[in-house]
Structure 1
């Protein structure tokens, strides 16, 4: 039950000790979303696998033994079998989880930071700043994201780092436009108008009022964006523009094994299933998070 308290400066405050915090309320509702919990379990499983990769594997991911080429799954000492160079496929998939998750998280963090800053500036200040930033977003969105990423990697050079930068760059407009549209509606709200009337500086209004109230859709989109970033990383790796051999990136593994799909189908199927599972996990969790954070879904 809420209680009124009067401080020494005669200000009245409302004390609500029994009301759950916003984070606890989100967690309470999220626990009831079965698909979100399934997605979260998949994500946590892959994170644990990535963190403890050295403890889970018995072979180095680049240890080639030509005498052990194309051993089938459940062979002695090789639970997932081996590839065309006799490398343990389980080790490569486990270490590949580190790469895919790291690239996914870092690419989304970079896109969110830059996109949020540009979206705040465009939405709040408007005029020529909004026009300039919006036209840049429109130009970038005119190209399919994977083609734009390919062009950027081609210019910068083939490497996993450049692939990460390319994925981060091509996804900036997604978050920028999302924040811009939210700010355009928020800056007309009464609390923002009151802050301006009180003489509050623009920087304080943006950081303390607009930014916190714009983060909900960004968090949801960021969760879904990790899945997209992982797929784009795999696509660039498959095209030979991402991680270079012998780095055990899942897309690169698919490219290396595509010629042996009839001879050793497990070398293609297992990395493909890994990509599918981790993307499914983020999509399920992101959809559940969207349902929980959407005010219309709270009724």
Structure 2
């Protein structure tokens, strides 16, 4: 290839990439100005790293018992103390981060996939399909989320995976209604009408125009819902409807330690603190993403 032609191709490639690169740069420029969002990001990154390297960081296994050391206060040997079986609470919280983050991410991903699909079908094609899907969302939203989660887990059976499925189902209407409202707005835009007038197919319009212009609110809502999902999983675990012993799920740890809250408060303090930090972290990230991705929030 001649050098002039090669330079032309490379220049063309840079031009093709520039809108995306510029969008990323604009997003990061706005996001990094939000100090609370950066703080929340730091919290979540720390917990993710702790979960990934838990095998190397944890001083003991999650089920290593020593009855002689039960309910020991925090010390150099046991940073967060021990529980009623003499298990190291710090180690269990590290491994519990894997469970809580897995439930949060996977349940929200499932909700986004199903909710987005139903929302697009309802908003884009409308008519009878819209009525059926919208009424389904209304029925699911008529129940308090924790009660509906309990009912689903009661049907499926108590386990962490079933709790994950229940939380995903409960959050489907949140994303479905969000996407539906966005689709109803975007499909009336001039560029979508023009694409339809030149014969562009429905699937191409959805994937090339509708979905890309609906990503930002989905990302923001998804980040916020991860915090909600982790809280719901902890609530189900506390009620005995989620993770089963001896899994070190944070809500289950709170449930198992509630009778020792006066004699050994550290058994409740540290799992509860872990839940609070992760939930606050995701909420701060969600607020930062909303401010960075929503043009109405920019000066």
The answer, yes or no, to whether TM exceeds 0.5 is: yes
Rounded Cα–Cα distance in structure 2 between residues aligned with 1:49 and 1:249? 15
| Aligned residue number for residue 267 of structure 1 | 267
| Aligned residue number for residue 36 of structure 1 | 37
Query: Deviations for 1:270-289, whole angstroms, at most 9, x for unmatched residues?
Result: 10000000000000110011
Task: State the 1:64 CA deviation.
Answer: 1.2
Task: State the 1:66 CA deviation.
Answer: 0.5
| Aligned residue number for residue 3 of structure 1 | none
Rounded Cα–Cα distance in structure 2 between residues aligned with 1:205 and 1:15? 24
Query: Deviations for 1:233-255, whole angstroms, at most 9, x for unmatched residues?
Result: 00000000000011000000000
Rounded Cα–Cα distance in structure 1 between residues aligned with 2:25 and 2:172? 30
| Aligned residue number for residue 215 of structure 1 | 215
Task: State the 1:52 CA deviation.
Answer: 0.4
| Aligned residue number for residue 51 of structure 2 | 50
Rounded Cα–Cα distance in structure 1 between residues aligned with 2:180 and 2:296? 21
Task: State the 1:153 CA deviation.
Answer: 0.1
| Aligned residue number for residue 4 of structure 1 | none
Rounded Cα–Cα distance in structure 2 between residues aligned with 1:57 and 1:121? 47
| Aligned residue number for residue 184 of structure 2 | 184
SS at match of 2:211: helix
Rounded Cα–Cα distance in structure 1 between residues aligned with 2:25 and 2:182? 24
Alignment of 1:82-93 (within 5 A): 82-93=82-93
| Aligned residue number for residue 289 of structure 2 | 289
Rounded Cα–Cα distance in structure 1 between residues aligned with 2:232 and 2:82? 26
Give the aligned CA root-mean-square deviation in angstroms: 1.7
| Aligned residue number for residue 5 of structure 1 | none
Please identify runs of 4+ aligned residues in structure 1 that moved more than 3 A: 12-20
Query: Deviations for 1:41-85, whole angstroms, at most 9, x for unmatched residues?
Result: 0010000000000110121011111111111001x4211110001
Task: State the 1:13 CA deviation.
Answer: 12
Residue ranges of structure 1 left out of the alignment (5+ in a row): 1-7
TM-score (norm 2): 0.93
Task: State the 1:113 CA deviation.
Answer: 0.5
Task: State the 1:297 CA deviation.
Answer: 1.7
| Aligned residue number for residue 63 of structure 1 | 64
| Aligned residue number for residue 238 of structure 1 | 238
Change in 2 beyond 3 A, CA 1:73/1:126: same
Change in 2 beyond 3 A, CA 1:61/1:16: closer
| Aligned residue number for residue 124 of structure 2 | 124
Change in 2 beyond 3 A, CA 1:17/1:86: closer
| Aligned residue number for residue 79 of structure 1 | 79
Q: How many pairs were matched up? A: 288
Task: State the 1:100 CA deviation.
Answer: 0.4
Residue ranges of structure 2 left out of the alignment (5+ in a row): 1-7
Task: State the 1:14 CA deviation.
Answer: 11
Alignment of 1:88-103 (within 5 A): 88-103=88-103
SS at match of 1:21: helix
